[in-house]
Each structure stands twice: as C-alpha cells, then as structure tokens.
C-alpha cells in the first residue's frame, strides 16, 4: 500500500486530479510542481492513511512511517540540507488538507525540526541569530498550542509580558536576547502544561504533528464547519510535509496571499496582499495588516511579474479563479499553495460570464460554477444612497452588502441574542474558527484587525455575509462590552450599520434598499432558462410581489394564497361578519362586501403578470384563524358589529378544533359554504373579463385546496365552472381558464388517477403533504425535529428539503397515476420546497413541469433547475 506521494524538482507522484487521496492542498502542490511552478519539495500522506489511522484506533498504518522517512530523505536531497542536522538543518511545515477546503479549520505547524542543536545550524545558515530565535519561539508556540492543546493565549501572554516590560508594541522590536529568554519561558510553560519536556527529537516532533493533523479532523471546529457546509465526516484529511522556506529573512523576503481575480467583484486583475519580512501565519492570522500587492511591484518588480505569469498559467491550466499563497526567500519566489478561490456571488457570476467570453469555459460549466444558494447574496440589501448617515469609522470592505443590528462582542452572545430573535452585529478584534456559530447568526461582522484575507473576511464572504475588517480606528473592549471611536462610545445593544461594500461603519440604523443586479446576472439567468426543463413560477399574493417575481424571471404565479388578502382591517371586518352570519343570505351579504377588494387584487396581479398564468387558490385556512383571540379584541369586535360578546365567544367555541390542520379547512369549507368559493371565483373571473375587454391577456388557473377525494373536486369544479361560465356570459368574453387542484394529502396522491380525470393541473402542496404523509405537524415539529437531526435519526428537516424516500415516493406515484388518466395534466409544486435546490433537482427527476417559490428565491430556483438538467 502506498501512503506517501512525493513532489519536488519539477516532478510529482500525484496530480491535481487526486483530491480524494491527497486532499485539495496536496493535489494542488503536486499539480503546481508538475506545471513547473516553483514549489518547495515535500510529500503528502494520503487521506487513506488518515482513515486507516482512525480505523486502527489512532495508530499509523503499517509501513506508513517508513515511507515518511524515505520521502524525507528525498526532500533532504532536493533541498540540500538534513532533518535534525546541527549544521544545515531541514525544517518542514506540517499541514492538514482535506478534499474540500475548510479555511482555518485544520491545523498547521511551521518550522518543525527545530531544537537547541538545529537552532545553531539555522543561525549558521542564515547568519541571523534574531531570526532563528524568533522562528524557534514561533515553533514552540504552534507546536504547543496545536499539537498538545496548550491555550495559545498563555504563549501570547508571555510575549506581551516581555514586550510590556521593555515598553514596546511590536514583535519586531524585540531583540535576540529577549527572544532567547522567551524561548526558555516557553519551554517551561510547555513542561508545566504537559508534564513533559519539549520534544527535542525532530522525528518525535514529526510523529506528534502528523498525529495532531489527523486528530484535528475530528476537532470541534472541523466538525462544526463540516456540519454547516454539508461535508461528510468520513473523508479524512491528508497531511502535507513541505520543506520550509522563510519569508522573514530580511527586506528581500516576504510572504503573501492572493487571488488571480478580485474575489469581491470578479474583476480581472491580480488581487493580493503581502507582508515584507514575515512568515505566512502573520498574514492569515491578521496579526499584522498586510500591504497591497502594488507595493511588491515597487519593491521587487521581477518577482511581481513572475507572480503574474504564474497566475496566468494557473488560470489557463485550472480554467478557474484561484487563490494562492507564496513566500519570497531572499529574492527567490516559492508558491506554497493554490486552490480554487472562494468568491462572492457577484464575483462568481462575473468570472463565469467573463471566462465564457475568454473561451476558457463553456456556458454549461459557467452555470455549474455558481451555487444556486449563492445568488441570495446578490439579493442582499444595500444602504439607501439618499439616506444621511453618520459614518464613524472605515475598515476594509471584506464582503459586500449592508447589515443593521445591535452590537455584541462575543460569538456566544451573538448566538444567545439571535436565539431571542434579535438582529446582531458581531464586533471583535479578530475572529477565529471558534466564532463560526456566532458569525453564522449575525447580520454582519466587524473586526478591528486583519486584512482582506483574514479569517473574518474569508468566512464572511463564504457565508455571503456583510463584513468589514481591519477597522483600526475602533478600540474594542471585548470583556467590558463596548468600543470607542474618537470620543464616541458604542455599547453592547447599541445599533450600528455596516457597509460591506465600502467598509464604512455607521452609527445607528441606516435605511436599506435592495441592490441593483449586475448585467452578468441577467446573462446567467438567460443561460439558466435555456438549459433547464423545469419552469419557475413564484408564490405571490400582491401586485408588488408579482412584479418582483416577474422581474426575476418567473414565468407565472404558481400559488396566490387568497386568504392573505383578508387581513387588511377593512376586509377582516367584512370577513368576520361573514363568519358570524347565521344564514346563507347574511353570509352572501357579507361576501358581497369583500368581492370588490378581491377583484381589485386580482386585477392588480393579473396586470403585473402580463398574460402569464396565475394560479389562484381558493380559501384554505380554518375560519377560527380569522377571529380575535383576546377578550379585549372580542369586545372591540362586539361593539363594531353590534353582536354580543357572548355570541362571538360561542361562535369561537364552535369553530375551535383539536387538530385544525386536519379540520374544517380547504375545500371542506368550500363544500359546506359554497357561497365563499363562489364569491372568489366571481372575483377572479370578473377581474379577468374586465382586463380581457381592455385587450389584456389573462390566464387564470383556479386551484382547489386540500382535496382528498375525487368527489370533493367534482363538486367544487362544477361550482367553479358554472360560476365562471355565468361571469363570462355576463361580460360576453371568453377567458382561457383552468381548474385544478393541490395535491397535499396522501389519499389524493394515491388516487391521483381518479383526481386527474377532473383536474387540468396538480400543484403539490408539499408543506401539507409532508405533514400528512410524515405525520408531522408543521407547527409542533420544532419541539423534537432539531433533536432528530442532531442525533442523525433523520438526515434533514423534511420541511426544508423534500423527504424523497417517503413524501417523494408518494409524489412520484401521483405523477405516474395522474398522467396515466390525463396525458395533458400539468404538474407543479408550490410548497416551500419549490425554492430548495435539492428538492428542485428531485422535482426535475420525477418530471414536474414547474416549481413555484417565493419571489426572491426565483433566481436561485432558476439556476437550480438548470443544474438539475445539466
């Protein structure tokens, strides 16, 4: 069994294709080596070794260590130095690297191989005693905190102590003597914390570090990240051991990170930052704020142009935007890493469209490059440009959009406040992977330190969350929970607004507006439509929502819930009058008052949809939902209507249901109170006829909810057709209308062949269908579903993603049976699942004609529909 893959001197045993085995980082290093890009020599221990390690109860698989030693010899030969050598020592980095990039989640140890002996060699080699001791103390810190879990802060406290005593601010102001003393302190700390001496044998160090990399796969942070990103737990991580090169060997050295294109806007320009005389961790940890890459161009033009050429080569090879890490050691450039770069949705879209224009990729690839959910970011609000705002500070614009919220100073507080329904902005000096949970629930993130590639920036962008970093003007007192800017103090709970596009920090709550979409967005939507089979409609109940839906390219309304129209104060009055009526006549009178409102709504919606089909669902919820709940409200109603409190209360009592979701609702209302549906059909058809007379095309689709038995549909259809014909006769126009039903009960699905004979279309109401097939109450499942999901009893919340094995099978049965008796049956879905990419893929698979989702999800659904087909 081969557990180790070598790379160096222009040749690698692995390739870029071998991500499963070598992890993203390892595969990238191999590929870059093979491309002739300068990479320090090293080797990758496979993910298979990691899985074996866990299978064997945390033991290296047989032969792995011997392979490591053999490969280490090859690295020694290539770099011309020796591991553990007192004269010319080889030092290595040990880094994790899983198949999927998990920024900041896994552990890295740099400068491994240092001990009191090899330190002499390093001094001898570099003629720089200060640098050597600085390297040594960094190594002990990393090794101590990562491999043996000593709290990193304890090392930092010792460092601060030395700095304070000396009265200096920066690490770079410490001299050799200070660092030497610090090394001794660190070793003591290590012994105190672990009960053992700091390991001086480099091979022992290496063994421990490899184990730590493997172990970090099941570290809390990694597990959380995987859960948030849906990455399986059983992949394991590879371990990369690479010869160290030093970016901190003077002013002709340095280190940097960057992207081949701008990861925020997608603009085609080399986008990077670098720090002279520094090691990589300084940049990533955001300890020092890095310089713009233009500075490198000034200082080392030859290196800059070499970097640019490498970026071009990488892009042409990978046909994608990449992120890179590089180090310059005494004027020689080394690439340390490359992988497909994370980007905002805006950038993803622009890069995809640009790369099609550049003929790097085709349209299908371009579509597949954009994650449907990512589009949500584009639909994020921005600050109203007309608003007067008080800008109190400016940081780096790390992730675009705007966010308003109450300030909190810890990830934990963010989670607790968000739990209570508060919108919060997480403000920290810098973030670390432990903060992920808090970042996920915050509206936005603000940090005082770090650059565009700091943890907060990378994670914020990935989450599509407004984020401002490196805002040095603010002084944060995390413990005391306030920050100051000049003479302004902002305390926990105070409102601020962030502008992630400009980096501005604004006092108070600024008004937000929805963004304008970049031109490339429409290009992508056009391509998506071209490549998909499923059509996308929207769920919309108002003309305004209808307009949003159409602007986003919805090809119709798949669900207009008419009950939402009754809650306006004027209308609810009439509606309650209807409910409280004792006779049909009284009810009809009350309904007559409501009809003009409904008609007006339909006219508005039909007009907005400009001849596209509009599915209107007749009244669905149980009547008690429209009646007041508190005594006060009942009293007001009693006065308003001149009906006694007693009578209202007794009516409420009779309407009370033990299980209202299975009670007197949907078509059961229509059957027992036909005048209600009759009024609604009249309103729909009158609206349609009035517009038709003005030569405005309207396609109403009248939808009967909660049908379980074909006879229910028959009765309701007869009523609908009779009413519709009467209206058309009266207006002397013909409207192309349809009558169909929702499929949201198991019985309806199973008897779909019978129902299809009466219906022109089915729309799966997967909210109710999930409820009735799964026997889960939509309203009560929250009490135990999270537990089920946490304990992996079920994979996913079936109200978010269709339960394909259960509910999905029933849908499939309904599709087959329905089409068997009605070839022309049109099939759609209008439950919340209609906007969920995974469910959309399923809907495509079972052959639905369309999905319908909330207006702002239309773009997501359109792209998901294309992905389903591609």
179, 183, 559, 743: residue in contact with ligand PEP (rule CB under 6 A): 559
Smallest distance, Å, CB 690 to ligand PEP? Answer: 27
Instruction: Phi first, then psi: give them for residue 358, nearest 5 degrees.
Output: -80, 0
Pair of tokens at residue 768? 């109710």
Q: Which residues pair with 257 in a beta bridge?
A: 273, 325
Interface segment toward ligand PEP; rule CB under 6 A; list 91-99, 155-163, 294-302, 763-771: 763-771
Smallest distance, Å, CB 670 to ligand PEP? Answer: 15
- Which one of Mg ion, ligand PEP, none interacts with residue 163, CB within 5 to 8 A by kind? none
Give SS3 for 418: helix
Cβ proximity to ligand PEP: between 723 and 839 the closer is: 839
What secondary structure letter does DSSP report for 806? I
Cβ proximity to ligand PEP: between 832 and 841 the closer is: 832
744 binds ligand PEP (CB under 6 A): yes
768 binds ligand PEP (CB under 6 A): yes
558 binds ligand PEP (CB under 6 A): no
CA–CA separation, 422 and 438 (whole Å): 13
Interface map 179-198 toward ligand PEP (x if CB under 6 A): --------------------
- Which one of Mg ion, ligand PEP, none interacts with residue 830, CB within 5 to 8 A by kind? ligand PEP
Cβ proximity to ligand PEP: between 126 and 767 the closer is: 767
268, 423, 491, 561: residue in contact with ligand PEP (rule CB under 6 A): 561
Pair of tokens at residue 544? 């305004």
Element (H, E) at 504: strand 504-507
Q: Map tokens 């600050």 to a residue.
A: 383
707 binds ligand PEP (CB under 6 A): no
CA–CA separation, 265 and 36 (whole Å): 30
Task: Establish whether 50 is a catalytic residue.
Answer: no
Pair of tokens at residue 381? 């609000």
Q: Are 557 and 609 in contact (CB under 8 A)?
A: yes
CA–CA separation, 320 and 58 (whole Å): 37
Interface segment toward Mg ion; rule CB under 5 A; list 359-367, 438-446, 621-629, 761-769: 761-769
622 binds Mg ion (CB under 5 A): no
Smallest distance, Å, CB 217 to ligand PEP? Answer: 40
Q: Distances from the Cα of 822 to the Cαs of 123, 760, 762, in angstroms? A: 85, 8, 11
Interface segment toward ligand PEP; rule CB under 6 A; list 148-156, 407-415, 482-490, 764-772: 764-772
Pair of tokens at residue 38? 């300068």
Q: Are 450 and 461 in contact (CB under 8 A)?
A: no
703 binds ligand PEP (CB under 6 A): no
- Which one of Mg ion, ligand PEP, none interacts with residue 315, CB within 5 to 8 A by kind? none
Instruction: Phi first, then psi: give them for residue 830, nearest 5 degrees.
Output: -130, 5
Cβ proximity to ligand PEP: between 450 and 666 the closer is: 666
Which of these is catalytic: 830, 833, 843, 844? 830
Task: Give the interface size with Mg ion as a residue count (CB under 5 A).
Answer: 3
CA–CA separation, 556 and 850 (whole Å): 10
558 binds Mg ion (CB under 5 A): no
Q: Which residues pair with 249 in a beta bridge?
A: none
765 binds Mg ion (CB under 5 A): yes
CA–CA separation, 445 and 455 (whole Å): 11
Instruction: Phi first, then psi: give them for residue 476, nearest 5 degrees.
Output: -100, 130
620 binds ligand PEP (CB under 6 A): yes
Which of these is catalytic: 239, 311, 380, 455? 455
Task: Establish whether 830 is a catalytic residue.
Answer: yes
Task: Give the interface size with ligand PEP as a residue count (CB under 6 A).
Answer: 10
765, 828, 837, 855: residue in contact with ligand PEP (rule CB under 6 A): 765
767 binds ligand PEP (CB under 6 A): yes
CA–CA separation, 91 and 398 (whole Å): 34
Residues 6+ apart with CB under 8 A from 468: 395, 396, 397, 398, 444, 445, 446, 447, 498, 499, 500, 503, 504, 505
DSSP structure string for 269-287: S-EEEEEET--HHHHHTTS
Smallest distance, Å, CB 806 to ligand PEP? Answer: 15
Give SS3 for 367: helix
768 binds Mg ion (CB under 5 A): yes
- Which one of ligand PEP, Mg ion, none interacts with residue 704, CB within 5 to 8 A by kind? none
Cβ proximity to Mg ion: between 765 and 855 the closer is: 765
What secondary structure letter does DSSP report for 145? I
Between the CA atoms of 456, 457, 463 and 466, what dihedral angle is there, to the nearest 10 degrees?
100
- Which one of Mg ion, ligand PEP, none interacts with residue 804, CB within 5 to 8 A by kind? none
Q: What is the pairing mode between strands 495-499 and 504-507?
A: antiparallel
Interface segment toward ligand PEP; rule CB under 6 A; list 243-251, 333-341, 595-603, 760-768: 760-768
Cβ proximity to ligand PEP: between 173 and 780 the closer is: 780
What secondary structure letter does DSSP report for 514? P
Cβ proximity to ligand PEP: between 765 and 798 the closer is: 765
Interface map 707-746 toward Mg ion (x if CB under 5 A): -------------------------------------x--
Pick from 785, 611, 609, 792: nearest CA to 692: 611
Encode burial over 49-87: b for 16+ CB neighbours within 10 A, e otherwise.
bbbbbeeeeeebbeebbebbeebbebbbebbebbbbbee
355, 830, 853, 866: residue in contact with ligand PEP (rule CB under 6 A): 830
Residues 6+ apart with CB under 8 A from 775: none
| Footprint of Mg ion (CB under 5 A) | 744, 765, 768
| Footprint of ligand PEP (CB under 6 A) | 559, 561, 620, 744, 765-768, 830-831
Q: Which residues are catalytic?
A: 455, 830
């Amino acid at each position: 069994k081969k557990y180790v893959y070598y790379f160096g001197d222009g040749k690698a045993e692995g390739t870029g294709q071998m991500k499963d085995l070598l992890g993203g980082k390892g595969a990238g290093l191999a590929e870059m080596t093979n491309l002739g890009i300068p990479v320090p020599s090293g080797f990758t221990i496979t993910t298979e070794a990691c899985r074996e390690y866990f299978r064997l109860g945390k033991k290296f698989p047989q032969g792995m260590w011997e392979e490591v030693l053999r490969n280490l010899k090859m690295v020694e030969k290539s770099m011309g130095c020796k591991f553990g050598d007192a004269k010319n020592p080889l030092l290595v980095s040990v880094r994790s690297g899983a198949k999927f990039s998990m920024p900041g989640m896994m552990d890295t140890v740099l400068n491994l191989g240092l001990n009191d002996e090899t330190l002499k060699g390093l001094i001898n080699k570099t003629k720089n005693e200060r640098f050597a001791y600085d390297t040594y103390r960094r190594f002990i810190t990393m090794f101590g905190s990562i491999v043996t879990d000593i709290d990193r802060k304890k090392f930092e406290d010792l460092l601060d102590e030395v700095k304070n005593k000396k009265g200096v601010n920066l690490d770079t102001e410490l001299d050799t003597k200070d660092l030497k003393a610090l090394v001794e302190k660190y070793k003591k700390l290590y012994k105190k914390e672990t009960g053992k001496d700091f390991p001086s044998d480099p091979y022992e160090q290496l063994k421990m570090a490899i184990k730590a990399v493997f172990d970090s796969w099941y570290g809390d942070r990694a597990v959380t990240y995987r859960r948030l990103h849906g990455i399986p737990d059983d992949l394991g991580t590879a371990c990369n051991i690479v010869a160290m090169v030093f970016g901190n060997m003077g002013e002709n050295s340095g280190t940097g990170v960057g992207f081949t294109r701008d990861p925020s806007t997608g603009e085609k320009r080399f986008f990077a930052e670098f720090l002279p005389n520094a090691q990589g961790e300084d940049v990533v940890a955001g300890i020092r704020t890095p310089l713009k890459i233009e500075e490198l161009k000034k200082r080392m033009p030859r290196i800059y142009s070499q970097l640019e050429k490498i970026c071009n080569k990488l892009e042409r090879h990978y046909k994608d935007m990449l992120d890179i890490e590089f180090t310059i050691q005494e004027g020689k450039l080394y690439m340390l890493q490359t992988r497909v770069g994370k980007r905002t949705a805006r950038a993803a879209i622009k890069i995809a469209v640009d790369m099609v224009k550049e003929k790097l990729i085709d349209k299908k690839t371009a579509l597949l490059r954009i994650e449907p959910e990512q589009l949500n970011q584009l639909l994020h609000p921005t600050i109203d440009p007309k608003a007067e705002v008080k800008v109190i500070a400016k940081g780096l614009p790390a992730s675009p959009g705007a966010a308003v919220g109450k300030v909190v100073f810890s990830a934990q507080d963010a989670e607790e406040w968000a739990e209570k329904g508060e919108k919060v902005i997480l403000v920290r000096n810098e973030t670390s992977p432990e903060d992920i949970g808090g970042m996920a629930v915050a509206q936005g993130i603000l940090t005082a330190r770090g650059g565009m590639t700091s943890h907060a920036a990378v994670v914020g962008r990935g989450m599509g969350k407004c984020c401002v970093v490196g805002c040095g003007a603010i002084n944060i007192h995390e413990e005391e929970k306030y920050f100051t800017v000049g003479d302004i103090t902002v305390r926990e709970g105070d409102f601020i607004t962030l502008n992630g596009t400009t980096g501005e920090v604004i006092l108070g709550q600024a008004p937000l507006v929805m963004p304008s979409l970049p031109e490339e967005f429409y290009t992508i939507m056009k391509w998506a439509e071209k490549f998909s089979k499923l059509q996308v409609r929207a769920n919309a109940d108002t003309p305004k929502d209808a307009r949003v839906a159409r602007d986003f390219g919805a090809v119709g309304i798949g669900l207009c819930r008419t009950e939402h129209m009754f809650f306006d104060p004027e209308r609810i009055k009439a509606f309650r009058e209807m409910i409280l009526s004792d006779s049909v006549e009284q009810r009809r009178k009350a309904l007559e008052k409501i009809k003009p409102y409904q008609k007006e709504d339909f006219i508005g919606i039909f007009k907005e949809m400009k001849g596209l089909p509009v599915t209107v669902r007749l009244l669905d919820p149980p009547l008690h939902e429209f009646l007041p709940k508190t005594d006060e409200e009942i009293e007001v109603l009693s006065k308003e209507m001149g009906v006694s409190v007693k009578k209202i209360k007794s009516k409420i009592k009779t309407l009370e249901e033990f299980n209202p979701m299975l009670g007197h609702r949907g078509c059961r209302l229509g059957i027992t109170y036909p005048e209600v549906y009759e009024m609604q059909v009249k309103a729909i058809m009158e609206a349609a006829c009035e517009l038709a007379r003005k030569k405005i095309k309207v396609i109403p689709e009248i939808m009967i909810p909660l049908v379980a038995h074909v006879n229910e549909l028959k009765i309701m259809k007869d009523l609908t057709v009779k009413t519709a014909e009467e209206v058309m006769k009266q207006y002397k126009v013909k409207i192309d209308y349809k009558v169909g039903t929702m499929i949201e009960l198991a019985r309806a699905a199973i008897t779909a062949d019978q129902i299809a004979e009466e219906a022109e279309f089915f729309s799966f109401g997967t909210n109710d269908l999930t409820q009735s097939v799964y026997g889960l109450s939509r309203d009560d499942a929250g009490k135990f579903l999270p537990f089920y999901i946490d304990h992996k009893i079920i994979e996913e919340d079936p109200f978010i993603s269709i339960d394909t094995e259960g509910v999905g099978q029933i849908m499939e049965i309904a599709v087959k049976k329905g089409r068997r008796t009605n070839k022309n049956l049109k099939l759609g879905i209008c439950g919340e699942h209609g906007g969920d990419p995974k469910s959309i893929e399923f809907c495509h698979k079972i052959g639905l004609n369309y999905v319908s989702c909330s207006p702002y999800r239309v773009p997501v659904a359109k792209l998901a529909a294309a992905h389903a087909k591609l």
